[in-house]
Amino acid sequence: MESYARFLVHLKQDEHRGELLVKLRKLLQADSQVELFSHHYSAAVEGSTLFDPEKHQHAIQSLLRQIEKGLQSHTDKLEQLGVKAGADVSWGRDEAETLVRKVMRYKPDLVMHAPDTHPDLLQRILGAPEWRLLRLCPAPLLLSKKQHWNERPIIAATIDPFHLDDETAELDQLILTHAQRLAEQVDGELHVLHVYQTLPHSAIFDEHLVMDYEQLQKKVRADHRARIQALISPLNLSIDDPCVHLLEGELSQCVPEWSERIGVDVLVMGSLARGFVDRLLLGSSAERLLERVSCDLMVLKPDSFHCPVDEF
């Protein structure tokens, strides 16, 4: 199985960069290539010299050179480990689009980004950079929280094979492949999670079905077990293995408690494109979990995903 060899690491000017680099080191191998990237924008700089183009550019370039110098100290340390490393900085008002354009140019195997917390729901939906990255980033995206990884990290693939289209089926396979790849690269432990809901008793109106409600629920559980077993068999896993988990309930409620109890380090999930109304009312599973889990999230797009951001 191919490993992650080409990394794009978004380093911001905050205290989280140290932990992000620690996780990067755990992922590094002999053939690894790393690009450290930093986005910056200052409304004060943009506004104070707006009417003098020469001074405006000079102020921006001076600031970017200072940031790049800070990144260079980290690339020097990486090169001492035998890793090919580079640094790049960019100026732009839109952090998410600036980072996505860098992704499209660099074409990494994995993007690493430390999300900020956004307690306001509307801010998250409309403007938070990490929420926009979830929807726009074409490469595998690791959203790194402040939590340290265990000595042997637990990587959990979150799948739902009860799909209605080929794109979602493709995504389930992709999730399993990447979760297994990540677990092997960090010498971790692979877990598989499926969350489903059975029919509530109040939703059954047919009197004959009400009498058979318990049998109906058993059939639903059996169907889910059979579908999961078929999906994980190529990984030499069984539905009865302790690393395979089937939970009944609402995903956004079950997963935070489960991941905390199991000690999950990285939750691997898929993200499909949605319209604005869908995002406003529901959001994707990854979006709903981003602020609710303390572990890291790896978010994947199907191969058919088309990034709406122009490269330049």
Measured between alpha carbons, how far is 69 from 74 in angstroms, rounded to an integer?
9
Tokens of 254: 């079950």
**pLDDT tens digit string along 116-125?**
765 554 444 5
Answer whether 152's CB lies under 8 Å from 189's CB. yes
Averaged pLDDT, 67-87? 92
The secondary structure element, H or E, covering residue 154 is: strand 154-158
CA 111 to CA 208: how far, in whole Å?
A: 53
Give me the pLDDT at residue 122, please.
46
Asked which of 57-66, 163-172, 219-228, 259-268 is least confident by mean pLDDT, the reply is 163-172
Least confident of 42-46, 71-75, 255-259: 42-46
Segment 139-167 shows an average pLDDT of 87
Q: What is the mean pLDDT of the chain?
A: 84
Could you tell me if 188 and 155 are in contact, meaning their C-beta atoms sit under 8 angstroms apart? yes
> What domains appear along the chain, each with residue ranges and CATH number?
6-300 (3.40.50.12370)
Which of residues 168 and 293 earns the better pLDDT score?
Answer: 293
Q: What is the pLDDT of residues 260-302, one digit of tens each?
A: 999 999 999 988 755 443 343 334 567 778 878 999 999 999 8
pLDDT confidence of residue 165: 57
How many angstroms separate the CA atoms of 170 and 161, rounded? 10
Give the percent of the chain with pLDDT over 90.
49
CA distances 266 to 93, 157, 160, 260, 294, Å, are 30, 9, 17, 11, 10
Query: Are 294 and 223 a contacting pair, CB within 8 Å?
Result: no
For 299, how many CA atoms within 13 A lie in the half-sphere containing its CB? 29
d(CA 262, CA 264): 6
Q: What is the pLDDT, as a whole number, of residue 44?
A: 75
Q: Would you place residue 87 in the very low, low, confident or very high pLDDT band (cuts 50, 70, 90)?
A: very high
What's residue 170's pLDDT? 84
Residue 27: what pLDDT? 97
